[in-house]
A and B are shown apart, each in its own frame.
Chain A
């Protein structure tokens, strides 16, 4: 960024402007990617797009026409066209060689640090910045991965206590959280986890304030549901992009299939304008 004379954007609009500049001034460099099924978590969730909002028990709000959804896709489509945002999967076999030291910016989860970037980005060349905002309103972000632990209602007696203790260990102990490249959900594990990441030497700036703040900014309007929103995004939007379509034109199909899944699982689908 310093070498090209750019400053790190703080808003999505700023990110797009910079992306357009990169496409003209430094073709081949990228500022993001939409080639994986979890990219809805990266672009639509932080935009407060209402496609996964369980508003009350068994009622979900899915609205592809929500301006919060269309503003995100309208922002990204030109960047995909210009090549500043790639549609290659970040885990494709050649992503590392194609974009070796060509990733100028990347919007993504904290686990990209240890899981994706080693081998693609030179150690010490990577820095983290606050999640992008939409200019007005509170800054929110999404999250990629994570999940819920369940105990079956069939577990009874002594096994119940043992199951509870293993679930507690899995979700809170640093013994389990510390070995994961994913950001720990349990607050007490944050500090040692961040210290471990910092010590890896991958980052050139202090990640603690950025990560700790971003962890509190995850928008609550995306709910855990029995179907995979990501999987639907992959088989509709990402597949559409691969056939030369745009993100904006795939939104309706994405939402309609989410509604199908919701109804099939017994949810009532509402569309809040």
Chain B
């Protein structure tokens, strides 16, 4: 949205035709926009919307295909693994989102206030861990967490952890997964937030400085309110990804030969129902639960912060 707006003034005024018929120009632009979006749109339908509709259908039916109302939701909700799984992910999300907002914003604001040349190097360093794709980064962490092979064994030893089993005790898991998520994902968000900060007109910051605002005041009163929408956008995506936590508990569970419950997170529970208990309808019900939670939180954030409003 921003880029479209900003490109407006730079439109070369070469053709009198364009001046005389702004409507036609607008339509042409629209077609190009649709063409660009269509690729994404097709994939979204195929791999996003269609599976979601399929999951919703499954969630309201039994294995024979007949309508069962809310039975699948009630049965899965009553399951003894349901609440603990949501509790686990809730704790994880609390740590992950809080650290995401505080540390990512802190680092991005710091980057933005130091010289551009230095910050390019920092941006690269922050982004680096994110270059390791999901499962690979978890594997790296498995080595970090196992005191018998970890380069941080001294540090782990301070906490009294002598083997992997002691490091990954149930109470430690939300924090561990949040650290992994932060390590893998925060760099990308720092770069995005930094980009958002760069969109703030220099005149505004200079004006604030002329009025006597220091670095902290400029950050809190000028920069943060102006990138509020980006922060909300980051929170929505991080929340959605966070509730779907799967790879981390699954891989750590496998690596520890089953010392973590195979249904630690709701997504794992859905997987367990589908492929261990052969109950795709229950699995779909949990997926729909996650979808609804994600949509509700996104809706609250979108409407409360007027995310899609263009001034």
Contacts and interface: CB of A to CB of B under 8 A. Distances in A.
B157 interface: no
Listed residue (A35, A235, A243, A263) with the most chain B CB atoms within 10 angstroms of its CB: A235
Given A92-B163, A92-B164, A226-B277, A37 B148 contact: no
Nearest to B146: A93
B262 interface: yes
B79 interface: yes
B96 to A, nearest CB: 23
The 3 closest A-B CB pairs, nearest first, are A94-B148, A242-B165, A234-B258
7 contacts: A37-B257, A87-B163, A89-B257, A228-B262, A239-B169, A239-B259, A263-B80
Given A242-B163, A260-B80, A264-B79, 19 more contacts: A35-B165, A87-B163, A89-B257, A92-B146, A93-B148, A93-B149, A94-B148, A94-B149, A228-B258, A230-B258, A231-B258, A231-B261, A234-B259, A235-B260, A235-B261, A239-B169, A242-B165, A242-B259, A264-B80
Give the size range of B's interface with the partner.
20 to 34
Interface in B128-166: 146, 148-149, 163-166
A226 B257 CA distance: 19
Interface in B272-301: 277
Nearest to B278: A226
Contacts of B195: none
Contacts of A265: 277
Interface in B77-109: 79-81
A130 to B, nearest CB: 28
Nearest to B272: A227
Interface string A14-39: 00000000000000000000011100
A231 B262 contact: yes
Nearest to A243: B169
Nearest to A94: B148
A87 B165 CA distance: 9
B169 A242 contact: yes
Given A89-B163, A93-B148, A239-B170, A37 B80 contact: no
Contacts of A87: 163, 165
Contacts of B149: 93-94
Q: Is the interface of B mostly helix, strand, loop or mixed?
A: loop
Contacts of B258: 37, 228, 230-231, 234-235
A238 interface: yes
A142 to B, nearest CB: 17
Contacts, number: 62
A239 B171 CA distance: 11
A89 B164 CA distance: 9
Nearest to A259: B80
A242 B172 CA distance: 12
A91 interface: yes
A88 interface: yes
Contacts of A36: 257
Nearest to B171: A243
Nearest to B260: A235
A235 B85 CA distance: 14
Contacts of A241: 165
Contacts of A260: 80-81
Listed residue (A234, A257, A260) with the most chain B CB atoms within 10 angstroms of its CB: A234
Interface string A236-260: 0011011100000000000001001
Nearest to A37: B258
B136 to A, nearest CB: 19
Contacts of A92: 146, 148, 163-164
B80 to A, nearest CB: 4
A240 to B, nearest CB: 9
B80 A242 contact: no
A81 to B, nearest CB: 15
Nearest to B160: A244
A54 to B, nearest CB: 17
Contacts of B171: 243
A260 B146 CA distance: 31
A264 B261 CA distance: 16
B18 to A, nearest CB: 64
B298 to A, nearest CB: 32
A88 B163 contact: yes
B75 to A, nearest CB: 9
A239 B260 CA distance: 8
Contacts of B257: 36-37, 89, 91, 234
A157 B165 CA distance: 49
Interface string A256-273: 010010011100000000
